[in-house]
């Protein structure tokens, strides 16, 4: 079904209002989800609404959190999200980072007691709008095995770096530190397709192309896939995200991160509170005049866009470019939402007494 941005945004806001979120929080949370849907990252948009509601029903998400700074220096802070939606906790924390950067050049916030924060790019872009470099990371429920292990100890732990440019759109690196994001696996599971070797292993640590292997003790592999191709680097990046997000803030880390799905219970021996994020902002003009930086960013992008390619029909893709193209298209032509998600959302609407979704 094709749905206008406006209709999908209203619907999403109404669901959050029905959960008891404040008008401000409902609007913000909807904005974070909508950006994912607009930018074509469908796994992180409204498709997750039902999941958030289920966690709220189980009282694992607090709809009226008292989000606050619990530790601070002029440019570092720890924020406690009070078990709120990551969709509102992370923007709060990013604003803290931006305010510190405004005053002192940079700002860094580690967040505990939060939940899934949507796409990392949303938070990083908040900094970019202020001519700052934005950094956003989060840990996540354990699905990935470290190199040599067959145990799920890490999340797909994404890291995002976003840079303002001049005539070009911002350059946004926003990536899971696993070989494949979980969303890609879910697509294969739904469509009954096999996945490439190097994405997952079975419970014994053998490569498998069965996307359902995760349900029988298998695990995702770190970026690099195997030791010979640098999976220890993907593991190292994922560890970095986990430590900055959770060991630093006092959230749960590694295998203690609570699952995103309500039907799985969190570990009974937590090592911290909720899940963790790490956000940062640095003023570009803390290093050189912003217009100089942007001119050179444009030159960088221009050079890479015009690189010689293996296949003349396949140009080099600047990080963030395909997402922007999707955003322009979907703002104009509507957001395609797959039928299973639409019926899921309409069932949710019925339960919460919210008007159902209507297509274009």
Residues 188-227 that bind a second copy (CB under 8 A): 196, 198-199, 201, 204-205, 223-225
Which of 148, 193, 261, 355 binds a second copy (CB under 8 A)? It is 148
At closest approach, how far in Å is the CB of 315 from a second copy?
7
SS3 category, 216: helix
The yes or no reply on residue 147 touching a second copy (CB under 8 A) is yes
The yes or no reply on residue 282 touching a second copy (CB under 8 A) is yes
What is the CA angle 104-110-111, rounded to 5?
A: 130
Q: State which of positions 89-128 bind a second copy (CB under 8 A).
A: 104-106, 108, 110
SS3 category, 345: helix
Choose between 254 and 334: whose C-beta lies nearer to a second copy.
Answer: 254
Choose between 64 and 306: whose C-beta lies nearer to a second copy.
Answer: 306
Do β-strands 132-138 and 159-163 pair in parallel, antiparallel, or remain unpaired? antiparallel
Pairwise CA distance, residues 183 & 43, whole Å: 5
Cβ pair 62, 83 in contact under 8 A: yes
Choose between 12 and 157: whose C-beta lies nearer to a second copy.
Answer: 157
Q: State which of positions 229-248 bind a second copy (CB under 8 A).
A: 229-230, 232-237, 239-240, 242-244, 247-248
In order, the DSSP letters of 26-91 are HHHHHHHHHHHHHTT-GGGTGGGHHHHHHHHHTTSS-SS---EEEEE-SSEEEEE-TT--HHHHHH
Pairwise CA distance, residues 109 & 249, whole Å: 9
At closest approach, how far in Å is the CB of 224 from a second copy?
6
The yes or no reply on residue 150 touching a second copy (CB under 8 A) is yes
Of the candidate spans 12-20, 58-66, 172-180, 326-334, the one that interacts with a second copy by CB under 8 A turns out to be: 172-180
Pairwise CA distance, residues 68 & 85, whole Å: 14
CA Rg value for the chain: 20
Pairwise CA distance, residues 48 & 118, whole Å: 9
Do β-strands 106-114 and 76-80 pair in parallel, antiparallel, or remain unpaired? parallel
Which of 31, 151, 210, 327 binds a second copy (CB under 8 A)? It is 151
Choose between 230 and 336: whose C-beta lies nearer to a second copy.
Answer: 230
How many residues touch a second copy (CB under 8 A)? Answer: 87
Q: State which of positions 27-86 bind a second copy (CB under 8 A).
A: 71-78
The yes or no reply on residue 270 touching a second copy (CB under 8 A) is no
The yes or no reply on residue 228 touching a second copy (CB under 8 A) is yes
Which of 66, 68, 167, 255 binds a second copy (CB under 8 A)? It is 255
Which of 296, 331, 350, 351 binds a second copy (CB under 8 A)? It is 296
Question: DSSP class of residue 312?
Answer: T
Q: State which of positions 301-320 bind a second copy (CB under 8 A).
A: 303-304, 307-311, 314-317, 319
């Amino acid at each position: 079904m094709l749905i206008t941005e406006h209709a999908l945004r209203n619907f999403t806001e109404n669901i959050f209002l029905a959960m008891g979120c404040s008008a401000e929080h409902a609007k913000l949370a909807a904005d974070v989800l909508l950006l994912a849907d607009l930018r074509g990252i469908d796994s992180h948009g409204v498709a997750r609404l039902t999941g958030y509601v289920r966690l709220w029903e189980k009282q694992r998400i607090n709809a009226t959190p008292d989000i606050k700074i619990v530790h601070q220096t002029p440019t570092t802070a720890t924020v406690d999200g009070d078990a709120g939606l990551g969709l509102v906790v992370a923007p709060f924390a990013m604003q803290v980072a931006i305010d510190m950067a405004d005053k002192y050049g940079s700002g860094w916030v580690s967040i505990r007691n939060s939940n899934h924060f949507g796409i990392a790019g949303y938070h990083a872009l908040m900094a970019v709008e202020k001519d700052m470099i934005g950094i956003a990371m989060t840990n996540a429920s354990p699905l990935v095995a470290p190199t040599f292990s067959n145990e799920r100890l890490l999340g797909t732990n994404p890291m995002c770096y976003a840079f303002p440019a001049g005539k070009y759109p911002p350059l946004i690196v926003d990536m899971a530190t696993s070989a494949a994001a979980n969303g890609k696996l879910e697509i294969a599971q739904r469509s009954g397709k096999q996945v490439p070797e190097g994405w997952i292993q079975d419970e014994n640590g053998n490569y498998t192309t069965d996307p359902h292997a995760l349900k029988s003790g298998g695990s995702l592999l770190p970026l690099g896939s195997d030791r010979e191709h640098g999976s220890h680097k993907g593991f190292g990046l994922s560890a970095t995200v986990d430590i900055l997000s959770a060991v630093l803030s006092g959230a749960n880390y590694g295998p203690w991160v609570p699952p995103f799905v309500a039907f799985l219970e969190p570990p009974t021996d937590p090592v911290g509170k909720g899940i963790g994020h790490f956000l940062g902002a640095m003023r570009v003009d803390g290093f050189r005049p912003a217009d100089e930086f942007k001119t050179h960013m444009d030159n960088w992008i221009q050079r890479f866009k015009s690189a010689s390619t293996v296949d003349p029909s396949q140009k080099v893709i600047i990080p963030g470019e395909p997402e922007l193209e999707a955003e322009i298209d979907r703002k104009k032509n509507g957001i395609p939402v797959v039928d299973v998600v639409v019926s899921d959302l309409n069932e949710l609407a019925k339960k919460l007494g919210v008007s159902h979704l209507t297509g274009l």
